Amino acid sequence: MHHTVKLSEKIHWIGVNDRKTHLFENLWPLENGIAYNSYLINDDKVALIDTVEHCSSEEYVDKIESIIGKDKKVDYLIINHMEPDHSGAIRTIVEKYPDIKLIGNVKTFKIIDAYYGYKDNLYEVKQDDEIDLGHHKLKFVMTPWVHWPETMMTYDMTDKILFSGDAFGSFGTLDGGIFDDEINLEFYEDDLRRYFSNIVGKYGNMVQKAFKKLEGVDVKMIAATHGPIWRSDINKILSLYDKWSKQETDNGVVIIFGSMYGNTEKLADYIARKISEEGIKNIRVRDASKTHVSHLINDIWRFKGVVLGSCAYNSGMLPTMEHLTNTLEHMGVKNHYLGLFGSYSWNGGGVKTLNKFAENVDWELVGDPVDIKGIPGEEAFAKCDALAQEMAKKLNE
């Protein structure tokens, strides 16, 4: 018996859970695993919407057959997104159903050609094009760069379900419940934001463009390619994506440091305490050498205040901090108050290079950067106090 779930009379979730992969895209930690959601519409014409990662191809085909049987064929594979976590079973599906039509847009087909060399049985769609499956009528919405150039969404006009691709997705497996009203959403809160910030965050302006295209569309259910299916509280996920894609943050501060022998860490703890004394309750202190950059980005996406500290290392910052700041620049992260601190033993480098980061990003530098030689003493802590006061003042405004 294969585990499939009905979204409506003819529409089925046929996704799979992945608890084996350690790193999504071989980059981002999957402490809670991930689900690859695919959907099957068993109408007069049978359509699949996206597939799953290739390791689960066999289970995936079994799920399809458990619904349509061995004799019925799949007519269409709608490809909302070509990233291999969703396109990984395309070859298996094409080999099993050789007459299947692959539905995508012109950019989808360029990637299909690059991956598989397929040039036949391609069915190109553009913005607002429709297809009729019998009972179900589908419309296509082009949403490039959410998260690759070819990404699009499929809207089922009959049941008003939006198959949204990566948008509105989450890390985390679907452990029994697959709908938002079947699960405790607190379990997904962090993984939702982390998924957005790590995977889609760079393309926030394209998420806003997608919102504009969806204006006026009556959506009763959002079925993404990862995470829960939203049917009870659609506004929750829509408002979260609206907020995150505008890089709007909560009041609070994350202090992230790189420290070899503890001096820079002492400054971090002191700054945290002083900010706390000013009434700020949301404070996180993170060691960049221990906490994966995925979670650091997640914290930064959450909080308005960011205080970065580094010891000197080969006249620059500690490589773990350098990795973080490079990633933030690459992602185009904005709308933050920024404080800087660090320490060194002879000629410095940590705070100097953090200052360069500050010049490269459009964040508001708060207070004077604190750069301490040797073990921090009274004077060093007084400078950290001043920095903390400035940050707290900004956050309390």
Q: What residue ranges bind ligand FEO (CB under 6 A)?
A: 81, 83, 85-86, 147, 166, 225-226
Shortest Å, Cβ 22 to ligand FEO: 16
Cβ atoms of 227 and 166 closer than 8 Å: no
Cβ atoms of 222 and 162 closer than 8 Å: yes
Cβ atoms of 54 and 20 closer than 8 Å: no
Phi and psi (nearest 5°) for 228? -65, 155
Closer by beta carbon to ligand FEO, 196 or else 313 = 196
Closer by beta carbon to ligand FEO, 63 or else 226 = 226
The tokens describing 249, both together, are 């943050």
The tokens describing 36, both together, are 């690859």
Closer by beta carbon to ligand FEO, 81 or else 352 = 81
Cα–Cα distance for residue pair 311/317, rounded to 1 Å:
6
Shortest Å, Cβ 140 to ligand FEO: 18
Residues 6 or more apart whose CB falls under 8 angstroms from that of 48 comprise: 14, 38, 39, 40, 41, 64, 74, 76, 77, 78, 93
Coil/strand/helix, residue 150 = coil
Closer by beta carbon to ligand FEO, 81 or else 292 = 81
Cα–Cα distance for residue pair 151/209, rounded to 1 Å:
13
Q: What does the DSSP assignment read for 168-184?
A: T--SB---S--BGGGS-
Shortest Å, Cβ 2 to ligand FEO: 22
Phi and psi (nearest 5°) for 141? -125, 120
Cβ atoms of 123 and 77 closer than 8 Å: no
Residue 145 burial (CB count, 10 A): 17
Closer by beta carbon to ligand FEO, 196 or else 357 = 196
Shortest Å, Cβ 34 to ligand FEO: 8
Shortest Å, Cβ 268 to ligand FEO: 34
Shortest Å, Cβ 225 to ligand FEO: 5
Cα–Cα distance for residue pair 164/152, rounded to 1 Å:
7
Shortest Å, Cβ 86 to ligand FEO: 6
CA angle 212, 104, 91 (to 5 degrees): 140
Cα–Cα distance for residue pair 140/130, rounded to 1 Å:
6
Shortest Å, Cβ 29 to ligand FEO: 16
Cα–Cα distance for residue pair 178/223, rounded to 1 Å:
10
Q: Which residue is nearest to ligand FEO (CB)?
A: 83
Cβ atoms of 267 and 295 closer than 8 Å: no
Shortest Å, Cβ 21 to ligand FEO: 12
Closer by beta carbon to ligand FEO, 193 or else 266 = 193
Closer by beta carbon to ligand FEO, 167 or else 370 = 167
Closer by beta carbon to ligand FEO, 81 or else 286 = 81
Closer by beta carbon to ligand FEO, 28 or else 313 = 28
